Amino acid sequence: MMRRLLWPAAIACVLALAVWALRTSDRPAPSANVTALATTGEPATSPASPADCAYVWAYQSLPELSTVLAAQLRAHQEVTAARAEAFGEDCVGPGGERRFISLETDYHISIQAPDLGDQTRLGNLMGIVMEAVDSLPPSEIPGAQPGFVELRFVESEDEFLVVRIAIAEYAGNAYGLTGAALFQRFVGSQP
The total domain count for the chain is: 1
Burial of 10 (0-12, 13-18, 19+ CB in 10 A): exposed
C-beta separation of 119 from 180 below 8 A: yes
Q: What is the CATH number of the domain that holds 113?
A: 3.30.70
3-state helix, strand, coil in the chain (%, to 5): 40, 30, 35
- Look up the domain containing 77 and give its range: 61-88+103-186
In a domain, 68, yes or no: yes
- Do the beta carbons of residue 109 and residue 152 sit within 8 Å? yes
Which band of pLDDT confidence, cut at 50, 70 and 90, is reported for residue 21?
A: very low
Burial (CB < 10 A; 0-12, 13-18, 19+), residue 33, is: exposed
- DSSP type of residue 120: H
Residue 4 lies in a domain: no
Examine the pLDDT at 42 and tell me if it is beyond 90: no
Q: How confident is the model at residue 175 (pLDDT cuts 50, 70, 90)?
A: confident
Q: Residue 182 in 3-state DSSP?
A: helix
Element (H, E) at 89: strand 79-92
In a domain, 110, yes or no: yes
* pLDDT for res 32: 31
Residue 74 lies in a domain: yes
Within a domain: residue 181? yes
Q: Is the pTM of this model over 0.75?
A: no
- In a domain? residue 32: no
CA torsion through residues 105, 63, 93, 96, sign: negative
Report if residue 46 sits inside a domain. Answer: no
Angle at the Cα of 81 (from 165 to 88), degrees rounded to 5?
55
Q: How far apart are CA 45 and CA 52, in angstroms?
A: 13
Place 163 in a pLDDT band, splitting at 50, 70 and 90: very high
Q: 148 lies in a domain?
A: yes
Q: What is the pLDDT of residue 115?
A: 93
pLDDT in tens, 49-62: 667 888 999 999 99
